[in-house]
């Protein structure tokens, strides 16, 4: 049987994600890109794909869903729609949660190569902070966007964390604190104290005054009772 030969040049210029996703883009004309499914339909289809992946014994990993980590998937819903979905979620999330409980957030890039890079960054962030699940990123292409290369990876990390903080409704408070601290470190700042557990200076002064006057009050009260 003849084997397909791959040149070293092809191996260097085509990353795994680009290879997996290139078909949907090469077969899609620009005129198709403005059309898309409603968000609720996208979330429902993604839920169904994840359930099928876990529950159907005869299910073979198709060209529409790729498991790249534990409960971490790269998905395309239809060849007519060039958007790519990166999602972190368990089978229990897919079965039991309502569509309204699973955020689907657009993430716009400028080209297929940028989708490749951002997909890798998003999957890395999901792997580092798994408790943000369930969460879906919808990676879209807008060729009018021009990104500066300076600090691009840093800016992407900050953007992803901010989207987690703003849109993950089921994220535990402990995970939120971890993300806030991580974001502060990325920005070269000291993590901010939790204001909810910090008393204002006025309240502290009133409390100290009360402690100072408390013996006088108790002595006066005991005098009145005798």
Per-residue model confidence as pLDDT tens digits over 42-95:
999 999 999 998 888 666 556 678 888 999 999 988 766 668 899 999 999 999
Q: Which of 89, 88, 66, 91 is nearest to 76 (CA)?
A: 66
CA distances, 113 to each of 98, 109, 143 (Å): 33, 9, 12
| Cα 122 from Cα 114, distance rounded (Å) | 12
| Cα 130 from Cα 72, distance rounded (Å) | 9
Ordered by start, the domain boundaries in the chain are 9-198
| Cα 65 from Cα 45, distance rounded (Å) | 11
For residue 125, the model assigns a pLDDT of 96
For residue 77, the model assigns a pLDDT of 84
For residue 50, the model assigns a pLDDT of 93
63 Cβ contact list (under 8 Å, min separation 6): 20, 23, 76
Strands 135-141, 84-88: parallel, antiparallel or unpaired by DSSP?
A: antiparallel
Name residues of the chain where pLDDT drops below 70.
1-36, 57-63, 79-82, 146-151, 189-226
| Angle, helix 152-167 to helix 173-186, in steps of 10 degrees | 160
For residue 90, the model assigns a pLDDT of 95
Q: Which of 166, 36, 43, 161 is nearest to 100 (CA)?
A: 43
DSSP string for the chain: -PPPP--HHHHHH--HHHHHHHHHHHT--GGGTT----HHHHHHHHHHHHHHHHH-TT----TTEEEEETTEEEE---TT---EEEEE--HHHHHHS-GGGS-EEEEEESSHHHHHHHHHHHHHHHHH-GGG-SEEEEEEE-TT-----TTHHHHHHHHHHHHHHHH-TT--HHHHHHHHHHHHHHTT-PPPP-GGG---HHHHHHHHHHHHHHHHHHHHHHHHH-
């Amino acid at each position: 049987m003849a084997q397909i030969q791959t040149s070293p040049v092809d191996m260097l210029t085509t990353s795994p994600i680009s290879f997996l996703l290139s078909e949907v883009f090469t077969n899609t004309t620009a005129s198709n890109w403005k059309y898309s499914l409603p968000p609720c339909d996208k979330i429902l289809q993604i839920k169904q794909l994840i359930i099928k992946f876990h529950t159907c014994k005869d299910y073979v990993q198709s060209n529409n869903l790729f498991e790249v980590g534990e409960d971490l998937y790269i998905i395309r819903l239809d060849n007519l729609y060039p958007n790519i979905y990166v999602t972190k979620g368990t089978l229990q999330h897919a079965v039991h949660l309502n569509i309204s409980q699973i955020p689907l957030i657009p993430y716009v890039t400028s080209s297929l190569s940028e989708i490749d890079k951002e997909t890798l960054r998003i999957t890395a962030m999901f792997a580092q902070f798994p408790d943000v699940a369930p969460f879906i990123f919808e990676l879209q292409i807008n060729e009018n966007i021009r990104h500066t290369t300076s600090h691009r990876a840093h800016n992407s990390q900050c953007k992803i964390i901010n989207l987690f903080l703003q849109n993950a409704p089921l994220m535990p408070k402990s995970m939120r604190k971890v993300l806030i601290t991580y974001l502060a470190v990325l920005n070269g700042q000291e993590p901010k104290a939790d204001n909810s557990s910090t008393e204002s200076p006025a309240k502290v002064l009133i409390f100290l005054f009360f402690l100072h006057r408390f013996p006088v009050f108790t002595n006066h009260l005991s005098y009145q009772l005798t």
